Homo-oligomer: A and B are copies of this chain.
Amino acid sequence: MDDVARRAGVSRALVSLALRGSAKVSDSSRAAVRRAADELGYRPNLMARHLASKQTRTFGLLINDLHNPYFPSVADGIKRAADAGGYRMLMNSAFLNDDDEARAIETFIDYRVDGLILTGSQVSAAVIEQAARSVPIVVVSRPMDSTVVDTINNDDFLGAQMVVEHLIELGHRHICHIDGGRGAGSAQRLAGYQAMMHRHGFAPHIVPAAFTEASGALAAQEALASGRTISAMFAGNDLSALGVLDSLDSAGYVVPDDISLVGYDNTSVAALRHIGLTTVDQHRERLGELAIDALIERVEHGRTQAVHHVIAPSLVVRGTTAAPRDPESRGQRKFSK
């Protein structure tokens, strides 16, 4: 920086001002500084800059599971909004492990990002609220009733209800839910399923699993082995639905003829024609945009009150759902539009 100042024939302070586009720099010195900086290939040291100014104009994005195709779309929305707001992004993955996630959060704090977005976070709320004392945090895809962190979610309760309603309209009554365990939004989806089953007087059938393909496959085997009648399965997310599909397949069931299947998230894999999974779209990119907006409000406009956005999802009907073949089920249909 000294070199640039010397070359441009001005003081170091002016170089700093000129390079950040301050209004109180004459055009001539600005040009001189610019030229000198270019010639010297000078890039300001972000570390030093932050140390002096407490700002980095960077947001951190923590993705819980890189293998889950759900997250990239959220990241797309985040990326676009961050660009528009003049912020850069830094990402990290939790690799599905709470310790890793906590450590990743610490890394971001150590690097003094101006704000942090947690997607599909699984660490305890206490860890998040503790971190929120160091940096503004918005949590995406995990409902939290917090007064210090913002949350952006789709309405999982509603989404699950839409799924069950769709299946019931088709004539299903033996609908099994493959639960997502600690997965983001899983609890609300379960609740939506239960509420809707209850409203129609159908017995819920719940099998525990997680948001991975492997656990979905396992849970499906378990469900089939239980001996209970099943005409449709509603998996906690697409990934686990894919596992269910595998198990159904190898057990000789044809989807949707024998059993209907629904996922959640509308990931790219669900859209593959070969899969054609009926699922729920969360409008992921929109979630990402809202997250950045929330962060910018906090950082630039000093908002301190937490906001909680919930946006309505939509059902995407594809080829894995159909009316049940079993006339007994159809006969007992209790609901019709």
- In contact, B43 and A51 (Cβ under 8 angstroms): no
Pick from B69, B79, B111, B249: contact of A93, CB under 8 Å: B79
Task: Say if the beta carbon of A72 comes within 8 Å of chain B.
Answer: yes
Interface residues of A in 106-134 (CB under 8 A from B): 106-107, 109-112, 134
Pick from B45, B72, B79, B269: contact of A269, CB under 8 Å: B269
Task: Say if the beta carbon of A334 comes within 8 Å of chain B.
Answer: no
- Size of interface on A: residues with Cβ below 8 Å to B: 46
Interface hub of A76, A111, A275 (most chain B Cβ within 10 A): A111
Binds B, one of A29-37, A84-92, A226-234, A293-301: A84-92
- In contact, A95 and B79 (Cβ under 8 angstroms): yes
The copy count of this chain in the complex is 2
In the complex, what residues of B have CB within 8 A of residue A20's CB?
Answer: none
In the complex, what residues of B have CB within 8 A of residue A268's CB?
Answer: 67, 213
Q: A46-B111, A268-B213 are in contact. Are A66 and B75 (CB under 8 A)?
A: yes
Q: A88-B103, A249-B274 are in contact. Are A51 and B45 (CB under 8 A)?
A: yes
- In contact, B67 and A242 (Cβ under 8 angstroms): no
Pick from B89, B269, B272: contact of A246, CB under 8 Å: B272
- In contact, B46 and A110 (Cβ under 8 angstroms): yes
| In the complex, per-residue mask of A60-81: 1 if CB is within 8 Å of any chain B CB, else 0 | 0000001101011101100100
Complex: how many Å from CA A46 to CA B111? 6
Task: Say if the beta carbon of A188 comes within 8 Å of chain B.
Answer: no
| In the complex, per-residue mask of A261-286: 1 if CB is within 8 Å of any chain B CB, else 0 | 00000001100111100000000000
In the complex, what residues of B have CB within 8 A of residue A273's CB?
Answer: 245-246, 249-250
In the complex, what residues of B have CB within 8 A of residue A25's CB?
Answer: none
Task: Say if the beta carbon of A221 comes within 8 Å of chain B.
Answer: no
Task: Say if the beta carbon of A47 comes within 8 Å of chain B.
Answer: yes
A278 to chain B, nearest CB (A): 14
A49 to chain B, nearest CB (A): 9
Q: A269-B269, A272-B242 are in contact. Are A46 and B112 (CB under 8 A)?
A: yes
Task: Say if the beta carbon of A16 comes within 8 Å of chain B.
Answer: no
Task: Say if the beta carbon of A50 comes within 8 Å of chain B.
Answer: yes
A214 to chain B, nearest CB (A): 10
Complex: how many Å from CA A106 to CA B43? 9
In the complex, what residues of B have CB within 8 A of residue A43's CB?
Answer: 106, 109-110, 134
Question: 6 nearest interchain CB pairs?
Answer: A66-B72, A46-B110, A91-B91, A246-B273, A47-B47, A67-B72
Pairs A–B under 8 Å by Cβ, sample size 18: A46-B111, A47-B50, A47-B51, A47-B111, A47-B112, A51-B51, A67-B73, A79-B100, A89-B107, A90-B91, A90-B92, A91-B92, A91-B93, A111-B111, A245-B272, A245-B273, A246-B274, A274-B274
